[in-house]
């Protein structure tokens, strides 16, 4: 195969660079020397390419003058289609074939299925730093031959086979790479060279001279774009703003600064409120406040006691009682008149029948009783008695008059009338004796409640006022024994005040627990933050200009990696330094970011015998001596992905369990990254992790990435058997129905040919899988895949497809019951008979009908 001309190699190398380097490279390739004009225009193009300057005018197209060559060094449009005819690889089954998808191929194999044997074969056939030790079958006494297999490729023509190891030298084998666990140690510990070899250039001295001149201009401009931070002195409070201002640099986040420096009217209002609250808290005398609240609580308790006592006398039934007493008084007063007073009318007594007259008669009778007691109870009046009032002798007429008085006092109507009068006076006394309650704007209790609930306070103000009015009206009516004034009734209760009582008590408890010093400190912190926010708002434009300058300087300094000053005497080394390093580092950094791998890893390189070697280091030490196992694997994977991307000839990659030792966050990122890579080149993933298998599958389905999958199984003690059927645990309902039908055929055979116990064991196993199929149907068919086991998300967009009916639920319950009762252990005394295959076939048909119905329900 003819050697590619040096100029073409340089041109090929130049085409991988930005416009500025291609531009100057072409001029240098065509023999132009270094001059000020070339330096200036190179520097301008350089700044435009690195985003340090806006492109100001249209650029001319760069057309390189290549030397004609006879053949390409790669196989174009290459695809691997099949791995087949595997022989003498560990204990793998012979004659197996693995179809390979144009995009993503997932190969699942559990422990002991022979997956490692396939990986070792691939490590030998393709580019790899992994485990290449292929052993003979240690369990076979026969002498094994040389490990061989065939790979079916296709480029622009029909598919063709290449045999390994016979045709290992063909270019096709150099265009695929393998990553396995052993690759990690090699990547982390060894000095590695790229698996493709760029060539050096004869014009490197000119390039280096140009580099130094352009770099000098760059650093001169960088220096002018690194102003001193003059803002620190304005911010003295320890908070996020001070931290952001103190650390102003190229790493400052303008968006965060904008957020910190946005000072709104709401912020100003809040600041005023916080200051007021601070002053209020400073002035707050907690013991005094507690005493005030306790006094307020006492007032509330007294108010409730007084007001409830008043309300207890103003219930509707009480008002009716008062009215009845007054009405009864007038009724019996009239009766008493009829019984005795009418007989006295002939005496022409003034104010006869009045209350005052009656009181006069009662007092007279009491006085007469005293006289009677003093003279051995001789009834007064008797013969020769004198009048109690005028002391004149009593005639027969006066005697009759006095006895009429006494008869009046002992009449039944008069007795009842006296009882009513007593009851009225007792009530009057009781109502007068009730201490009044006060609840209006002149009381602190009303002021407190009014602040909390003005409506409630106004309501009780009215209740207190109207109830007191009613009480006074009742007293007046009782006193005058009439119904002249309105007597309002009330059904409310002071229990409505319980909430106020609880609130005051809670406030007291809160004050007991309150720590004003801590609250003041928090208020001060918030005030300082808002004050600093206001200040930053005024300085924000200047701060952003400062940050923009430093970012430009940092970006410019970062871009200075283009001007690598390493020795150009070694063509290969200089090629790596000037062409590969920057892009390799950038790609590696991007991969680390994608995989959430540590960003502290540096790529160290050195030249040795015409080759440039690289090593991953952390602070000058080997990366695996610093990083955790998971981080080591993530970094190694990032490096591998970088290398295959940097190789323009690479067409595909093989991965062996790339998520070992990774947490679920990074597993998801790795799955997404590999699926994304599958849109650019063939990706073949071997894994024993069923959750990762599903992650890859779901990620591919979400991104519409074509994929195929198969499994490696250990069948009858022989590992490496390729089976396109998915493992049971990830099979969808349709596949599980097929599997159960296949197993039912075998179950029928056991039923006919084996013992009852053998059939019982097989039937229990079959029904156990049927039960799992019902569970999967609930996820996949009934819930339409909204929530699935092993899935790393909830497919909310599918919720609208869910239709759950009572019939479907009943069918699930029936199916689960029928499949479950044969799975669990039963009491020996029951001696259950396992269902025959006719019943099993019927139960499977019932499940299949449900699955079909649930899809369209």
Can you tell me the distance from the alpha carbon of 504 to that of 515, in angstroms, rounded to the nearest whole number? Answer: 19
Q: Report CA 799 to chain centroid distance, whole Å.
A: 20
Q: Which class for 815: exposed (0-12), middle (13-18), buried (19 or more C-beta within 10 A)?
A: buried
Domain assignment present for residue 262? The answer is no
SS3 call for 85: strand
Pairing relationship of beta strands 104-109 and 707-715 according to DSSP bridges: parallel
Q: Which residue has the higher pLDDT, 384 or 195?
A: 384
Mean pLDDT to the nearest integer, 823-849: 72
C-alpha pair distances (Å), 75 with each of 123, 170, 172: 20, 10, 7
Closest CA relative to residue 857, chosen from 793, 803, 783: 803
Single out the residue in 366, 400, 430 at which a domain terminates.
430
Per-residue pLDDT, 699: 87
Q: Which residue has the higher pLDDT, 400 or 259?
A: 259
Single out the residue in 722, 744, 770 at which a domain terminates.
722
Do 578 and 696 lie in one domain? The reply is yes
Per-residue pLDDT, 397: 63
Mean pLDDT to the nearest integer, 719-724: 78
For the ranges 256-270, 317-331, 588-602, 783-797, the lowest mean pLDDT is seen at 783-797
CB neighbour list of residue 355: distance below 8 Å, 6 or more residues apart: none
Domain assignment present for residue 709? The answer is yes
The alpha carbon torsion through 108, 110, 112, 117 (nearest 10 deg) reads 20
What domain range is 339 assigned to? 321-430
Mean pLDDT to the nearest integer, 357-375: 75
Can you tell me the distance from the alpha carbon of 424 to that of 431, in angstroms, rounded to the nearest whole number? Answer: 10
Q: Which residue has the higher pLDDT, 455 or 564?
A: 455
Cβ atoms of 558 and 617 within 8 Å: the answer is no
Cβ atoms of 103 and 652 within 8 Å: the answer is no
Lookup result for tokens 């005052």: 356
Do 586 and 612 lie in one domain? The reply is yes
Can you tell me the distance from the alpha carbon of 769 to that of 209, in angstroms, rounded to the nearest whole number? Answer: 74
Q: What is the DSSP string of 805-838?
A: -HHHHHHHHHHHHHHHTTTS---GGG-PPPP-HH
Do 713 and 622 lie in one domain? The reply is yes
Per-residue pLDDT, 565: 53
For 83-104, the pLDDT digits (tens) are: 988 888 877 878 888 899 999 9
Mean pLDDT to the nearest integer, 505-529: 81
Do 784 and 682 lie in one domain? The reply is no
Per-residue pLDDT, 719: 85
Do 751 and 772 lie in one domain? The reply is yes
Q: Backbone phi, then psi, for 386, in 5-degree steps?
A: -95, 165
Domain assignment present for residue 757? The answer is yes
Closest CA relative to residue 163, chosen from 176, 177, 147: 147
The 8-class DSSP code of residue 580 comes to I
Domain assignment present for residue 39? The answer is no
Q: Which residue has the higher pLDDT, 269 or 362?
A: 269
Q: Residue 396 corresponds to which tokens in the numbers above?
A: 């027969």
Q: Residue 756 corresponds to which tokens in the numbers above?
A: 């009852």
Can you tell me the distance from the alpha carbon of 687 to that of 696, in angstroms, rounded to the nearest whole number? Answer: 10
Can you tell me the distance from the alpha carbon of 14 to that of 647, in angstroms, rounded to the nearest whole number? Answer: 15
Do 709 and 604 lie in one domain? The reply is yes
The count of residues in the chain is 857
Residue 345: pLDDT band by 50, 70, 90 thresholds?
low
Q: Residue 615: in which H helix or E strand, if any? A: strand 611-618
What are the b/e assignments for 122-140, b being 16+ CB within 10 Å? bbbbbbbbbbbebeebeee
Pairing relationship of beta strands 176-179 and 652-656 according to DSSP bridges: parallel
Do 705 and 780 lie in one domain? The reply is no
Q: Which residue has the higher pLDDT, 198 or 827?
A: 827
Mean pLDDT to the nearest integer, 753-766: 83
Sign of the torsion angle spanned by Cα atoms 658, 661, 663, 664: positive
Do 386 and 416 lie in one domain? The reply is yes
For the ranges 12-26, 186-200, 376-390, the lowest mean pLDDT is seen at 186-200
Per cent of the chain over pLDDT 90 is: 16
Domain assignment present for residue 486? The answer is no
Domain assignment present for residue 795? The answer is yes
Lookup result for tokens 């080997």: 622
Domain assignment present for residue 188? The answer is no
Per-residue pLDDT, 829: 47
Domain assignment present for residue 609? The answer is yes
Can you tell me the distance from the alpha carbon of 431 to that of 485, in angstroms, rounded to the nearest whole number? Answer: 16
Per-residue pLDDT, 608: 47
Per-residue pLDDT, 677: 92
Closest CA relative to residue 481, chosen from 417, 421, 414: 421
Q: Which residue has the higher pLDDT, 781 or 35?
A: 35
Measure the CA angle with vertex 587, ends 582 and 592; round to 5°: 125
Per-residue pLDDT, 690: 81
For the ranges 97-101, 140-144, 196-200, 757-761, the lowest mean pLDDT is seen at 196-200
| Three-state helix/strand/coil letters over 355-366 | HHHHHHHHHHHH
Q: Backbone phi, then psi, for 660, in 5-degree steps?
A: -60, 135
Q: Residue 258 corresponds to which tokens in the numbers above?
A: 């904008």
* pLDDT of 611 strictly over 70: no
For 561-592, the pLDDT digits (tens) are: 777 655 334 444 554 544 456 677 788 888 88
| Three-state helix/strand/coil letters over 301-351 | HHHHHHHHHHHHCCCHHHHHHHHHHHHHHHHHHHHHHHHCHHHHHHHCCCC
Per cent of the chain over pLDDT 70 is: 80
Cβ atoms of 697 and 666 within 8 Å: the answer is no
Per-residue pLDDT, 344: 63
Per-residue pLDDT, 200: 33
Cβ atoms of 186 and 661 within 8 Å: the answer is no
The 8-class DSSP code of residue 562 comes to G
Cβ atoms of 823 and 768 within 8 Å: the answer is yes
Do 717 and 576 lie in one domain? The reply is yes
Per-residue pLDDT, 201: 38
For 760-792, the pLDDT digits (tens) are: 888 888 888 888 888 887 877 777 766 666 565
Sign of the torsion angle spanned by Cα atoms 421, 425, 430, 432: positive
Here the contacts of 500-503 (C-beta below 8 Å, separation 24 or greater) are: 500/300, 500/449, 500/452, 501/297, 501/300, 501/301, 501/304, 503/452
Closest CA relative to residue 559, chosen from 215, 87, 813: 215
Cβ atoms of 578 and 207 within 8 Å: the answer is yes
Strands (E), 349-478: none
Do 767 and 718 lie in one domain? The reply is no
In this structure, the number of other CB atoms found within 10 A of the CB of residue 361 comes to 18
Sign of the torsion angle spanned by Cα atoms 631, 637, 643, 645: negative
Pairing relationship of beta strands 707-715 and 682-687 according to DSSP bridges: unpaired
Do 694 and 576 lie in one domain? The reply is yes
Cβ atoms of 563 and 292 within 8 Å: the answer is no
Cβ atoms of 155 and 75 within 8 Å: the answer is yes
Tally of domains in the chain = 3
SS3 call for 83: strand
CB neighbour list of residue 342: distance below 8 Å, 6 or more residues apart: none
Per-residue pLDDT, 493: 92
Q: Which residue has the higher pLDDT, 805 or 604?
A: 805
Q: Which residue has the higher pLDDT, 256 or 335?
A: 256
Q: Residue 263 corresponds to which tokens in the numbers above?
A: 């000072």
Do 567 and 690 lie in one domain? The reply is yes
What helix, strand, coil percent values describe the chain, rounded to 5? Answer: 60, 10, 30
Per-residue pLDDT, 576: 52
Single out the residue in 362, 396, 430 at which a domain terminates.
430
Mean pLDDT to the nearest integer, 324-348: 69
Lookup result for tokens 């007084």: 306
* pLDDT of 818 strictly over 90: no
* pLDDT of 757 strictly over 60: yes
For 269-316, the pLDDT digits (tens) are: 998 988 988 887 777 677 778 888 899 999 999 999 999 999 999 999
For 661-700, the pLDDT digits (tens) are: 787 788 888 888 899 999 999 999 998 888 888 888 888 8
What rounded mean pLDDT belongs to the chain?
80
We report the CATH number of the domain holding residue 643 as 3.40.50.300
Question: What is the end-to-end Cα distance of the chain in Å, rounded?
Answer: 65
CB neighbour list of residue 461: distance below 8 Å, 6 or more residues apart: 439, 440, 446
SS3 call for 720: strand
Cβ atoms of 175 and 78 within 8 Å: the answer is yes
Q: Which residue has the higher pLDDT, 728 or 178?
A: 178
In this structure, the number of other CB atoms found within 10 A of the CB of residue 638 comes to 26
* pLDDT of 63 strictly over 70: yes
SS3 call for 855: helix
Q: Residue 415 corresponds to which tokens in the numbers above?
A: 């007795």
């Amino acid at each position: 195969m003819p050697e590619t001309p040096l100029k073409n190699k340089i041109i090929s190398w130049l085409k991988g660079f930005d416009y500025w380097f291609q531009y100057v490279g072409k001029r240098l390739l065509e023999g132009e020397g270094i001059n000020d004009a070339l330096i200036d225009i190179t520097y301008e193009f350089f700044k435009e390419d690195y985003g340090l300057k806006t492109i100001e005018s249209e650029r001319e197209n760069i057309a390189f003058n290549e030397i004609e060559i006879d053949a390409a060094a790669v196989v174009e449009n290459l695809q691997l289609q099949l791995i087949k005819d595997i022989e003498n690889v560990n204990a793998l089954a012979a004659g197996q074939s693995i179809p390979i998808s144009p995009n993503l191929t997932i190969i699942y194999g559990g422990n002991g299925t022979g997956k490692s044997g396939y990986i070792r074969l691939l490590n030998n056939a393709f580019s790899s730093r992994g485990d290449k030790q292929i052993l003979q079958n240690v369990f076979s006494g026969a002498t094994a031959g040389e490990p061989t297999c065939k790979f079916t490729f296709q480029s622009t023509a029909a598919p063709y086979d290449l045999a390994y190891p016979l045709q290992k030298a063909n270019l096709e084998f150099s265009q695929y790479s393998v990553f396995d666990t052993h690759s990690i140690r090699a990547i982390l510990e060894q000095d590695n060279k790229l698996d493709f070899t760029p060539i050096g250039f004869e014009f490197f001295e000119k390039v280096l001279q140009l580099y130094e001149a352009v770099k000098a201009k760059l650093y001169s401009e960088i220096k002018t774009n690194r102003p001193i931070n003059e803002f620190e002195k304005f911010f003295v409070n320890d908070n996020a703003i001070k931290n952001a201002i103190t650390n102003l640099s190229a790493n400052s986040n303008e968006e965060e600064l904008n957020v910190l420096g946005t000072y709104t009217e709401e912020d100003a209002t809040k600041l005023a409120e916080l200051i007021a609250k601070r002053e209020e808290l400073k002035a707050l005398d907690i013991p005094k406040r507690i005493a005030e609240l306790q006094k307020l609580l006492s007032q509330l308790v007294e108010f409730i006691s007084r007001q409830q006592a008043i309300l207890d006398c103003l219930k509707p039934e009480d008002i009716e009682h008062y009215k009845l007493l007054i009405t009864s008084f007038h009724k019996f007063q009239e009766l008493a008149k009829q019984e005795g007073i009418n007989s006295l009318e002939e005496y022409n007594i003034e104010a006869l029948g009045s209350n005052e007259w009656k009181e006069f008669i009662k007092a007279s009778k009491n006085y007469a009783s005293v006289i009677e007691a003093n003279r051995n109870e001789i009834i007064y009046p008797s013969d020769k008695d004198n009048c109690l009032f005028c002391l004149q002798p009593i005639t027969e007429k006066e005697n009759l008059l006095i006895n009429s008085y006494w008869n009046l006092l002992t009449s039944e109507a008069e007795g009842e009338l006296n009882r009513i009068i007593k009851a009225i006076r007792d009530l009057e006394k009781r109502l007068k004796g009730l201490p009044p309650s006060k609840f209006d704007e002149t009381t602190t209790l009303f002021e407190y409640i009014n602040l909390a609930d003005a409506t409630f306070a106004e309501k009780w103000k009215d209740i207190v006022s109207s109830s007191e009015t009613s009480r006074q009206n009742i007293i007046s009516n009782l006193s005058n024994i009439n119904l002249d004034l309105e007597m309002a009734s009330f059904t409310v209760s002071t229990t409505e005040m319980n909430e106020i009582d609880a609130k005051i008590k809670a406030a007291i408890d809160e004050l007991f627990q309150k720590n004003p010093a801590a609250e003041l400190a928090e208020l001060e912190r918030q005030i300082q933050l808002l004050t600093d926010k206001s200040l930053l708002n005024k300085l924000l434009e200047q701060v952003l200009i400062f940050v923009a300058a430093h970012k430009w300087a940092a970006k410019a300094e970062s871009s200075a990696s283009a001007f690598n000053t390493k020795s150009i005497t070694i063509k290969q080394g200089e090629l790596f330094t000037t062409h590969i390093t920057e892009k390799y580092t950038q790609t590696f950094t991007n991969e680390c970011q994608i995989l959430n791998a540590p960003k502290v890893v540096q790529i160290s390189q050195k030249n040795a015998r015409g080759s440039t070697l690289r090593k991953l280091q952390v602070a000058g030490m080997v990366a695996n001596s610093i990083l955790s196992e998971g981080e080591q694997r993530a970094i190694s994977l990032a490096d591998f992905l970088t290398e295959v991307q940097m190789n323009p000839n690479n067409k595909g990659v093989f991965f062996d369990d790339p998520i070992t030792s990774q947490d679920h966050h990074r597993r998801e990122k790795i799955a997404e990254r590999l699926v994304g890579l599958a849109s650019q080149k063939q990706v073949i993933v071997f894994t024993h992790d069923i959750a990762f298998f599903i992650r890859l599958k779901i990620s591919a389905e979400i991104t519409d990435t074509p994929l195929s999958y198969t499994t490696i199984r250990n069948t009858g003690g022989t590992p490496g058997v390729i089976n396109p059927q998915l493992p049971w645990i990830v099979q969808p309902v349709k596949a599980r129905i097929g599997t159960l039908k296949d197993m039912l055929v075998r179950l029928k055979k056991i039923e006919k040919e084996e013992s009852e116990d053998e059939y019982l064991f097989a039937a229990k196993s079959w029904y156990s899988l049927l039960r799992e199929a019902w569970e999967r149907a609930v996820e996949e068919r009934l819930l339409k895949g909204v929530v699935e086991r092993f899935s790393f998300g909830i497919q909310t967009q599918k919720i609208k497809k869910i239709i759950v009916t009572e019939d479907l639920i009943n069918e699930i319950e029936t199916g689960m019951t029928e499949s479950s009762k044969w799975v669990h252990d039963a009491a020996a005394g029951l001696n259950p008979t396992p269902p025959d295959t006719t019943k099993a076939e019927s139960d499977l048909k019932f499940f299949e009908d449900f699955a079909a119905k649930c899809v369209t329900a």
